[in-house]
A and B are shown apart, each in its own frame.
Chain A
Amino acid sequence: METCTKVTKEWLNTQEYREKNFAREKLVINPAKACQPLGALLCALGIEASLPFVHGSQGCAAYFRSTLSRHYREPVAAVSDSMTEDSAVFGGQSNLIEGLKNANALYSPKVIAMFTSCMAEVIGDDINAYLGNAKEQEAIPKDLPVALANTPSFKGSHITGYDTMLKGLIECLATPRQEDKINNRLYVVPGFDTYTANLREYKRLLKVMDAPYTLLPDQSDVLDAPNLGTYELYPGGTPITEMNDALNAASFLFAQTYSTPTTRKYLASMEVPVEVISMPIGVEKTDKFIEAVAKFTGKDVPEEITIERGRSIDAMTDSHQYIHGKKFALFGDPDVLIGVVSFLLEMGGEPVHIVCTNSTPLFKKAMESMLAASPYGQTATLYAGKDLWHLRSLLVTEPVDMLIGDSHGKWAARDADIPLVRIGFPITDRVNLHRYPIVGYSGVINMITMIVNTFLEEKDRTSTDPYFEMMR
């Protein structure tokens, strides 16, 4: 490798460096993904009285809790069995058994959601066998459900960890499907979704549409808990009884594609009807959600929904001129990216750079065909498996008007001198964004508000007197 004598900021902004940067293979700079166990933890928090339990080194759990806490500004409960060097030699069984015993005694959960971090996976701990031994030794009651998920951080990302834990929870809690006991409910799975308001929005829409439903998992009351003067360890989540009956669901509807394949496959193998749609971001994708629910209920779409849709479209017409023709760069998780890009195309916005670290071949195909089908998608390139340092090179060599992504994008946006609109996870430097839905028709209005007002704010702060106007 040649050595470079002077690395200047200017040089980092050149096409020459961009090429060298994109030739980089081994090193990751400013990563835009989280790890499997973090996703598993988020999933586990969405079940009633469920205690997330990390089988691995102690630092992992502390990191996940702090990352989630900083995003939601809420306490996050989780325990760890704190494996140490001797566990590496002798295996993690004794930690696991003692951990289960202590966790149950201290926190009385209705279910323990156990997932692994790297250490346990590298040494090859068999958590299923260990759990059997724990119950055998009466460390915990035999009837205390313990869901299992293998989620090493050196595989997949937070969205696959979420998926694996979800499958584990259903496997553990649901009774076998019986054709004569099919319930009338639509089980809606939001996927790895860090907007508590999205979850509430799903519930509201399902209620308006008179669909008997279960949201699975549901962290809305856990990670956006009211302040009532006392701390509740288990303030909400999908009821255990509805978890027990999950395999008897009339149908499952998945509102995300790429964070749910393992669970869908499992349900299909249990002969549960499964439907999957894109995350309902933007009008077209929300329509698909509404249609799927209407198909399930067999009822007409209520007028209330039609009116709501009309208001969103009205908001789009009021503000299309601020987005049409603007150039965007985006980064984030596959499902959110498909949704936000779809929304931008509806508004005539032009995505130029799309960076997805945890991309999959299926996602790439879906994104590229969506872009190809729109006149506004012609200039876009999807960069699969790239990081935020690649993104920085893209922004400084091929400038755009706005970056959309989570808080980690603020360095790249600053270097490129463009605004960052925060959509994704984690958002650690702005308040309350997770309390505004980005899904559904109301999500459309919220996204317009965020994007357009950011542009207008920029204009006001940078325009000279002759161009400073009361009307924008």
Chain B
Amino acid sequence: MFTNLTKLDLKDKQCMSDAGAPKLCMKALPGEGAERSCAYDGARVVLMPITDVAHLVHGPIACAGNSWDNRGARSSGSQLYRRGLTTDIMENDVIYGGEIKLKESILEIAARHEPKAIFVYATCVSSLIGDDVDKVCREAEAELTIPVIAVNCPGFLGDKNIGNRIAGEVLFERVIGTGDGPDEKIPLSINLIGEYNIAGDLWGVIPDLKNLGITLQTAITGDAKFDDLRSAHRASLNVLICSKSLTNLVRKMEICYGIPFIEGSFYGIHDTSETLIHIAKALNDLDLLERTLVYVQKREDETRKTIAGYRKLLENKQAILFTGGVKTWSMVSTLAELGINILAGGTQNSTPEDFHRMKELMDPSAQIIEDTSSAGFLKIIAEKKPDLIVAGGKTKYLAHKTRTPFLDINHGRKLPYAGYQGMVTFAETLTRTVLSPVWGLLKQEFPPKEGEQDD
């Protein structure tokens, strides 16, 4: 019943020997630290943004209790996806099994919460006690009019990346192409794969797509409605923007539905323009391409003009960059746009491709963060003494203790940074972070040393 890991396109990847390269091996080093989340969390990250469905966790309180409504993925419609639904497996269920409890829970949700579908997440405990989540979902589905979809993602399968891929499998097998609607392609339409609408990122990109006449079929899965996802196979192009976490999905969609895919990023002026142009080219419409070339030039000029003031304030600041996914490399050019130099860069949850792309983009003098544990991170801060750190929330408070300005660019943030508009928000927020008067206060000696009182 476990997902066959070979299906997930992991086994063919060797762990890279490059120092600092992300570990795609399934095993984290025991006792090293606890930064890395699990396969269950990885599947939740991908699927939870689907708004009009119920997400039911078949596990003990830890799994749902620590993860309901914790991602900042926004919805323009239904808020059902944020409801914390769990079977709350207790000791008796461990002994006698939790299948009956699970089935009743599914039926209760279907009757009273009006979901378009129910995603049921297996966890370490449900898998170890032998609950057959697939079977229960099938049985429940037979009694209902909506899909009940099992997600076999127990945390012990390994890292977050594995969970991402399992979620991709589930979307391909159980969601995409399963609707009653027509199947023919919609001209000039795209799916944005790996866009989760964190802090409303997606909404910063949609206006530009609209202005160019490109139809967004659906994001996978930010602000997504279940029915739109079912028709995702009608898109003419897949644009993969959280790099490789859903590569398996786009590859399969290419084979099965003939949808080509490209990779891109909407972080920063340069990457946003490049991605829009690539989309126009891939959609193979000359008129669109011409429009796009003019449009991106105009938007670039406008945006650069708007952020010029911020650039002046940030120019020549020295940064450490530590993130994952597409931001690994996309943030390099985004920071360069603001005149910021990168002293050191690193990644933990990225693919080898992302890592190499980051390496290529960075100045050769920039250091690769080899030791990605907290200890390694602190060491590099002490060595490099950066003016700012751009990273994910897990290192935020650590960085603050070293009195270094810190900007959270992962899911803990509250502001959208995608697209041209996002670049302005990013520049503004980064400026406020770096130039906050609190850093000066922190660096003041107290009590003042003798002779310095009158400074």
A contact residues vs B (CB 8 Å cutoff): 1-4, 6-7, 17, 20-21, 24-31, 33-35, 37-38, 53-54, 56-67, 69, 73-75, 77-85, 87-88, 95-96, 98-104, 106-107, 117-119, 122-123, 152-155, 157, 225, 227, 229-232, 388-389, 411
A1-B107, A98-B30, A122-B128 are known contacts. Are A28 and B401 too (CB-CB below 8 A)? no
- The answer to whether A154 touches B125, judged by C-beta atoms less than 8 angstroms apart, is yes
- B36-44, B194-202, B419-427 - interface stretch: B36-44
- Known contacts A2-B111, A20-B112, A62-B34; is A88 also within 8 Å of B128 by CB? yes
Q: What B residues does A227 contact at CB under 8 A? A: 400-401, 403, 442
In the complex, chain B residues whose CB is within 8 Å of the CB of A57: 38, 124, 154-156
Q: Is the CB of B27 within 8 A of A84?
A: yes
In angstroms, how far is the closest chain B Cβ from the Cβ of A160? 12
| Per-position 1/0 for B44-58, Cβ under 8 A of A | 000000000000100
Chain B residues in the interface with A (C-beta under 8 A): 2, 26-41, 56, 60-68, 70, 82-91, 93-94, 100-102, 104-105, 107-114, 123-125, 128-129, 154-159, 373-375, 378, 393-394, 397-398, 400-403, 442
A389 to B84, CA, bound (A): 9
Closest to A32 in B: B65
Which residue of chain B has its CB nearest to the CB of A123? B128
Return chain A residues, CB-CB under 8 Å to B41: 59, 62-63
The listed residue (A7, A31, A102) touching B64 by CB distance below 8 A is: A31
| Residues of A close to B65: CB separation below 8 A | 31, 33-35
Q: In the complex, A79→B33 CA distance in Å?
A: 4
Task: Contact check, A58 vs B84: say whether CB atoms are below 8 A apart.
Answer: no
**30 A–B pairs (Cβ distance < 8 Å), ordered by A:** A1-B108, A4-B114, A7-B113, A17-B112, A26-B100, A29-B85, A30-B68, A30-B83, A31-B84, A33-B61, A33-B65, A37-B62, A57-B154, A58-B34, A59-B38, A63-B66, A66-B393, A66-B394, A69-B393, A73-B397, A78-B34, A85-B157, A85-B158, A106-B33, A106-B373, A118-B124, A119-B125, A152-B91, A229-B401, A388-B84
A85 near B2: Cβ-Cβ < 8 Å: yes
The answer for the CA separation of A258 and B244 in the assembled complex, in Å, is 48
Tell whether, in the assembled complex, residue B37 and residue A62 are in contact, meaning their CB atoms are under 8 Å apart: yes
Q: Which 8 A-B pairs have the closest CB atoms?
A: A59-B38, A102-B31, A99-B31, A61-B34, A99-B30, A103-B31, A153-B62, A63-B66
Residues of B within 8 A of A26 (CB): 87, 100-102, 104-105, 108
Q: Are A28 and B88 interface neighbours, CB within 8 A?
A: yes
Taking CB as reference atom, which chain B residue is nearest A105?
A: B31
Residues of B within 8 A of A35 (CB): 60-62, 65-66
Known: A62-B37, A88-B156, A123-B128. Is A3-B110 also a contact (CB below 8 A)?
A: yes
Bound CA span A298–B451, Å? 51
CA–CA, A88 to B124, complex, Å? 10
By a CB distance below 8 angstroms, the chain B residues around A117 are: 62
Most buried by B among A56, A84, A411: A84
Q: Which residues of A contact B61 (CB under 8 A)?
A: 28, 31, 33-35, 153-154, 157
**Set of chain B residues within 8 Å of A6, measured between Cβ atoms:** 114
Chain A residues with CB under 8 A of B158? 84-85
Q: How many angstroms from the CA of A55 to the CA of B27 in the assembled complex?
A: 15
A154 near B111 (CB under 8 angstroms)? no
Cβ of B112 and Cβ of A74 under 8 Å apart? no
Chain A residue numbers with a CB within 8 Å of B62 are 34-35, 37-38, 60, 63, 117-118, 153
- Name the CB-closest residue of B to A74: B397
- CB-CB nearest in chain A for B127: A88
Q: Are B112 and A229 in contact (CB under 8 A)?
A: no
Q: Given contacts A118-B123, A231-B378, could you give 6 more A-B pairs where the C-beta distance is less than 8 Å?
A: A7-B112, A31-B86, A60-B62, A79-B33, A81-B30, A106-B33
When the two chains form their complex, are residues B66 and A64 in contact, meaning their CB atoms are under 8 A apart? yes
Q: Which residues of A contact B28 (CB under 8 A)?
A: 58, 80, 82
Interface centre among A75, A82, A101, A225 (most CB of B within 10 A): A82
CA distance A37 to B374 in the complex (A): 21
Nearest CB in chain B to that of A66: its residue: B394
Determine if B64 and A80 form an interchain contact, defined as CB atoms under 8 angstroms apart: no
- List residues of chain B with CB within 8 A of the CB of A64: 66
Q: How far is the CB of A233 from chain B (nearest CB, A)?
A: 8
Check if A62 sits within 8 Å of B36, measured CB to CB.
yes
Cβ A231 vs Cβ B398 within 8 A: yes
Decide: A63 near B104, CB < 8 A? Known: A3-B110, A99-B30, A152-B60.
Answer: no
CA distance A82 to B246 in the complex (A): 24
Please name all residues of chain B whose beta carbon is closer than 8 Å to the beta carbon of A63 when the two chains form the complex: 37, 41, 62, 66-67
Instruction: Provide the residues of chain A in CB contact with B29, threshold 8 Å.
Output: 82, 102
**Closest Cβ neighbor of A56 among chain B residues:** B124
Whole-angstrom distance between the Cβ of A402 and the nearest chain B Cβ: 22
Chain B residues positioned under 8 Å from A81 (CB to CB) = 30-31
Cβ 8 A contact of A28, one of B37, B66, B87, B375: B87
Chain A neighbourhood of B402, CB < 8 A: 229-231
CA distance A200 to B420 in the complex (A): 48
Please indicate the chain B residues that have their CB under 8 angstroms from the CB of A3 in the complex: 110-111
Contact B125 A118 (CB under 8 A): yes
CB <8 Å contact, B401 and A31:
no
Shortest beta-carbon distance from A29 to chain B in Å:
6
Contacts of A225 in B (CB 8 A): 401
- B441: nearest residue on chain A (CB-CB)? A227
Query: Which residue of B89, B394, B401 has the most chain A CB atoms within 10 A of its CB atom?
Result: B401
Given contacts A1-B111, A31-B61, A31-B65, contact A60 B155 (CB under 8 A): yes
Q: How far is the CA of A77 from the CA of B374 in the complex (A)?
A: 9
CB nearest to B67 among chain A residues? A63
Residues of A within 8 A of B86 (CB): 27-28, 31
Q: How far is the CB of B173 from chain A (nearest CB, A)?
A: 21
A57-B155, A62-B35, A65-B394 known; A118 vs B401 contact (CB < 8 Å): no
Chain A residues within an 8 Å CB radius of B109: 27
Q: State the CA gap A98–B31 with chains docked (Å).
A: 7
Minimum C-beta distance from A277 to chain B (A): 29
CB < 8 Å neighbour of B104 from A25, A30, A118, A157? A25
Residue in B30, B38, B60, B154 whose Cβ sees the most chain A Cβ within 10 Å: B30
Measured CA separation A84–B5 after assembly (Å): 13
Q: Which residues of A contact B394 (CB under 8 A)?
A: 62, 65-66, 69
- Within the complex, the shortest CB–CB distance from B196 to chain A, in Å, comes to 17
A59, A66, A101, A229 pick with most chain B CB within 10 angstroms: A59
Which among B32, B70, B104, B128 is the interface contact of A102 at CB below 8 angstroms?
B32
Smallest Cβ distance from A170 to chain B, in angstroms? 24
Residue A79 contacts which of B34, B88, B156 (CB distance < 8 angstroms)?
Answer: B34
Closest CB in chain B relative to A134 CB, distance in Å? 11
User: In whole angstroms, how far apart are the Cα atoms of A96 and B402 in the complex?
Assistant: 32
| Assembly CA distance A83 to B94 (angstroms) | 19
Do the beta carbons of A4 and B111 come within 8 Å of each other? yes
Question: Taking each of B93, B94, B107, B156, which has the highest tally of chain A beta carbons within 10 Å of its own beta carbon?
Answer: B156
Report A-chain residues with C-beta under 8 Å of the C-beta of B30.
Answer: 80-82, 95-96, 98-99, 102
Taking CB as reference atom, which chain B residue is nearest A7?
B114
Contacts of A79 in B (CB 8 A): 31-34
State whether A122 and B31 are in contact (beta carbons under 8 Å apart), knowing that A31-B61, A35-B62, A229-B442 are contacts in the complex.
Answer: no
CB-based contact B401/A27 at 8 Å: no
Instruction: Determine how close the nearest CB of chain B comes to the CB of A137; give it in whole angstroms.
Output: 14
For the complex, what is the distance from the CA of A101 to the CA of B31, rounded to whole Å? 7
A117 vs B41: C-alpha distance in the bound complex, in angstroms? 16
Residues from chain B with a CB closer than 8 A to the CB of A61 are 34
Task: Name the residue of chain B whose CB is nearest to the CB of A235.
Answer: B401
Name which residue of chain A comes closest to B377, CB basis: A231
Cβ of B38: which chain A residues have Cβ within 8 Å of it? 57-60, 62
In the complex, what's the smallest C-beta–C-beta distance from A45 to chain B, in angstroms?
Answer: 13
Closest to A77 in B: B374
Cβ-defined contact, A87 with B397, below 8 A: no
Complex interface: chain A residues within 8 A of B156 (CB): 57, 83-85, 87-88, 119
